Amino acid sequence: MNNVDIAHAFEEMADLLELHGENAFRVRAYRQGAKAIADLALPVAEILRDPNQDLTSFPGIGSTLAEKSRTLVETGSLPQLEKLRTETPPVLMQMTRIPGLGVKKAVVLQKELSIQSLEDLRLACQEQRVRVLKGFAAKTEQLILDGLAIAESASQRIRLDQADRLVQRLREHLEVVEEIERLEFAGSYRRGKETVGDIDILVVSENHTTVMDRLGCFPGLQSVIVRGETKMSIRVDDQFQVDLRIVPGQSFGAALQYFTGSKDHNVAVRSRARKMGFTINEYGAAKLDKPDTYVAGRTEEELYALLGLQWIAPEFREGRHELQWAEMPNSAPQVIDVNDIVCDLHMHTTQSDGNHSLEQMAAAAQQRGLKHIAITDHSKRVSMARGLDEARLLAQWAEIDRFNAQQPGEFRVLKGVECDVLEAGPLDIADEVLAQADWVIASVHYGQKQSREQITERIVGALRNPHVDIIAHPTGRLIGSRPPYEVDLAAVFEAAVEYKKALELNSSPMRLDLSEVNLMAACAAGIPIAINTDAHSIDGLDAMHYGVLQARRAGIEKGQVINTWPLSRLLSWLQHA
């Protein structure tokens, strides 16, 4: 069992223990242990084998989790986890995804009303059987009904980062099969969509049985849906579907192009092919008058070249402008690449709710090749995150000045703050203090259920403030758990243009806010975009590639993204904004 599998087991333990009302400290210990193991540079199995190594010497891993890690490595399973799985109705995990419901209420509902599915829960609300339970009300019923769509969607799709972790597990599990000649992942995962509905695996191998047998013993497998001669489908983890297809080498490129999609892209490709006298399917391309004689399909490049097109990156394949871009060299926009990023302008330290200090975050940023960063801890309104008041903020900025003065090179830390836009409208930090900042982020964390007019006015008012430079995560959504708040984005875009301000593309895979569609609209309006990680730890800095991928899918050019600008250009823009 590898580190990802162990971390996944501990995460599931934490979820199930929480559902069973276990002590919060024990639940937290499993979550911290899962993260600690996922972050280890060495395999847990290797550490356990080395007499000079002690797993408990790593932060976040106590003796209990170390022993359970040993059990997982040696046996591939954990008795306590298996027991919890059998004792926990699967619907409970789905119910906890309903925004605002919470674990305790989900448990009560499941037990008192014998809920076995989300449809059972919907029916109980419609029949007004929830409101009669102690601690519930008509308002709760409506909250559940409103949130069921989110819970159902969450049970069918997973976030891109979750898909990443599953793909890593699948790849490591399958790559040990020597008979596999090629292995690629396709579908919406390969296109980089923010949520993924299933995982598509394409394999070239002469030994179908060995490959399918290996997938059939994947850790976390719940059931085999179907197993045929060239296709196998399984359910893993929380009923998520994985489809394996074994294809011949001469058709691999055609199959990869076909199963990567999107549907709209494939329709456009096939329409172009027919106009040129070809037919294309997952087996290859052939002339219309000789449909059984394939003339291309071994690689995607070969297939696109047959149609007079350059190879099209998967993230562009959404049936928009990609075929026109691919018709002529240099016709595509200079879309941003992760290597273009020189700075990250939204991150937190131990001064508020971050896990690492200013010095640690700066060092980690430099290791990742960044030239400058902004430290943007929360303001005082976010009390649960130990937000900074004016005095603490000024003290932090003085510390940043001292840090910059000691830097031998050109790396620089900007003095920033993530300043809350208060429910009544003004900002959380006094203007005379904000005037001393290099970089001011305004954000909405509270009052997200206010009316569309109220929230819009709050954000427009923040953009109107001369000291604000950017609005963070402009719609407040959390993918799969919280919908965007009601806001008139057209009015926000108009204000950003009028006051020469920027908007954020928050790279956290839980947010990816602005969404792809809203991002395209913002850039069409000429609004500068900052792709920021909103990192609360060193590892959080690695989320940058999710934001860049989102920007690429939206066709955003390098020059439109503030994070590609050298410091001199950024400072000049800030002076004239």
Q: Residues 307-328: pLDDT tens digits?
A: 999 999 999 999 988 999 999 8
- Is 333 a member of any domain? no
Query: In this predicted structure, which of 62-76, 319-333, 346-360 has the lowest mean pLDDT?
Result: 319-333
pLDDT tens per residue across span 158-167: 899 999 999 9
pLDDT band for position 523 (50/70/90)?
very high
Query: Is the pLDDT score of 576 beyond 70?
Result: yes
Same domain, 303 and 442: no
Same domain, 391 and 478: yes
Same domain, 81 and 125: no
Neighbours of 175 (CB within 10 A): 11
pLDDT tens per residue across span 441-457: 999 999 999 999 999 99
Same domain, 129 and 166: no
Which residues partner with 413 through β-bridges?
Answer: 373
The whole-number pLDDT of residue 471 equals 98
- Is 461 a member of any domain? yes
Tokens of 174: 């399958």
Domain boundary among 202, 226, 246: 246
Query: In this predicted structure, which of 124-138, 496-510, 557-571 has the lowest mean pLDDT?
Result: 124-138
The mean pLDDT of 43-51, rounded to a whole number, is 89
> Which of 519, 509, 434, 439 is closest to 475 using CA atoms?
519
- Is 332 a member of any domain? no
The whole-number pLDDT of residue 277 equals 96
The mean pLDDT of 146-161, rounded to a whole number, is 77
The whole-number pLDDT of residue 154 equals 57
pTM of the entire structure? 0.79
CATH number reported for the structural domain that contains residue 346 in this entry: 3.20.20.140
Same domain, 29 and 16: yes
Whole-number CA gyration radius for the chain: 26
Domain boundary among 130, 156, 182: 156
- Describe the chain by its helix, strand, coil percentages, rounded to 5: 50, 15, 35
> Which of 181, 196, 168, 169 is closest to 261 using CA atoms?
196
CATH number reported for the structural domain that contains residue 142 in this entry: 1.10.150.20
Query: Is the pLDDT score of 330 beyond 80?
Result: no
pLDDT band for position 366 (50/70/90)?
very high
pLDDT band for position 4 (50/70/90)?
confident
Instruction: With H, G, I as helix, E, B as strand and everything else as coil, classify residue 374.
Output: strand
pLDDT tens per residue across span 208-223: 999 999 999 999 898 8
Distance, in Å, from the CA atom of 191 to the CA atom of 444, rounded to the nearest integer, reads: 31
Distance, in Å, from the CA atom of 162 to the CA atom of 220, rounded to the nearest integer, reads: 14
Query: Is the pLDDT score of 229 beyond 60?
Result: yes
User: Rounded to an integer, what is the distance from CA 438 to the centroid of its chain?
Assistant: 29
Same domain, 403 and 538: yes
The mean pLDDT of 147-175, rounded to a whole number, is 85
Cβ(37)–Cβ(7) below 8 Å? yes
Count of helices and strands (H, E) across the chain: 24, 17
Domain boundary among 267, 302, 327: 327
pLDDT band for position 72 (50/70/90)?
very high
Same domain, 467 and 546: yes
Same domain, 350 and 493: yes
pLDDT tens per residue across span 89-124: 888 888 887 877 878 888 899 989 999 988 999 999
User: Rounded to an integer, what is the distance from CA 277 to the centroid of its chain?
Assistant: 41
Distance, in Å, from the CA atom of 412 to the CA atom of 282, rounded to the nearest integer, reads: 51
For residue 418, give the H/E element and its range: strand 412-420
User: For all residues of the chain together, what is the average pLDDT?
Assistant: 92
- Give me the sheet containing 502-506, strands edge to edge: 343-344, 372-375, 412-420, 439-443, 470-471, 502-506, 529-532
Distance, in Å, from the CA atom of 80 to the CA atom of 224, rounded to the nearest integer, reads: 24
Same domain, 270 and 314: yes
> Which of 309, 313, 264, 263 is closest to 285 using CA atoms?
309
CATH number reported for the structural domain that contains residue 309 in this entry: 3.30.210.10
Same domain, 164 and 147: no
Q: Say if strands 294-296 and 284-287 run parallel, antiparallel, or are unpaired.
A: antiparallel
- Is 133 a member of any domain? yes
The whole-number pLDDT of residue 91 equals 87
Burial class (CB in 10 A: 0-12, 13-18, 19+), 390: middle
pLDDT band for position 2 (50/70/90)?
confident
* Sign (positive or negative) of CA dihedral 299, 305, 307, 311: positive
pLDDT band for position 35 (50/70/90)?
confident
The mean pLDDT of 499-517, rounded to a whole number, is 96
Q: Which residue is it, tokens 């059931």?
A: 223
Query: In this predicted structure, which of 80-94, 246-260, 392-406 has the lowest mean pLDDT?
Result: 80-94
Same domain, 465 and 442: yes
> Which of 385, 386, 537, 384 is closest to 35 using CA atoms?
537
Q: Say if strands 439-443 and 412-420 run parallel, antiparallel, or are unpaired.
A: parallel
Euclidean distance between the first and final Cα of the chain, in Å? 53
Cβ(101)–Cβ(143) below 8 Å? yes
- Give me the sheet containing 294-296, strands edge to edge: 278-281, 284-287, 294-296
Query: Is the pLDDT score of 155 beyond 70?
Result: no
* Sign (positive or negative) of CA dihedral 275, 277, 279, 284: negative
Residues near 81 by beta carbon (within 8 Å), at least 6 away in sequence = 9, 12, 13, 16
Q: What percent of the chain has pLDDT over 70?
A: 98
CATH number reported for the structural domain that contains residue 224 in this entry: 3.30.460.10
The whole-number pLDDT of residue 376 equals 98
pLDDT band for position 430 (50/70/90)?
very high
Q: Which residue is it, tokens 């620089």?
A: 412
The mean pLDDT of 263-284, rounded to a whole number, is 94
- Is 173 a member of any domain? yes
pLDDT band for position 387 (50/70/90)?
very high
Query: In this predicted structure, which of 40-44, 406-410, 454-458 has the lowest mean pLDDT?
Result: 40-44
Cβ(510)–Cβ(322) below 8 Å? no
Segments of 54-198 assigned E as strands: 158-159, 180-185, 195-196
Query: Is the pLDDT score of 239 beyond 80?
Result: no
pLDDT band for position 351 (50/70/90)?
very high
Q: What is the DSSP string of 508-569?
A: -TTT-BS-HHHHHHHHHTT--EEEE--BSSTGGGGGHHHHHHHHHHTT-BGGGBGGGS-HHH
For residue 172, give the H/E element and its range: helix 160-174
Distance, in Å, from the CA atom of 246 to the CA atom of 340, rounded to the nearest integer, reads: 37
How many domains, in total, are found in the chain?
A: 5
Q: Say if strands 180-185 and 199-205 run parallel, antiparallel, or are unpaired.
A: antiparallel
Query: Is the pLDDT score of 418 beyond 80?
Result: yes
Query: Is the pLDDT score of 483 beyond 80?
Result: yes
Same domain, 435 and 541: yes
Tokens of 301: 């490049």
- Is 492 a member of any domain? yes
Helices (H), 157-279: 160-174, 187-191, 208-215, 252-260, 263-275
Give the residue numbers spanning the domain of 82: 3-87
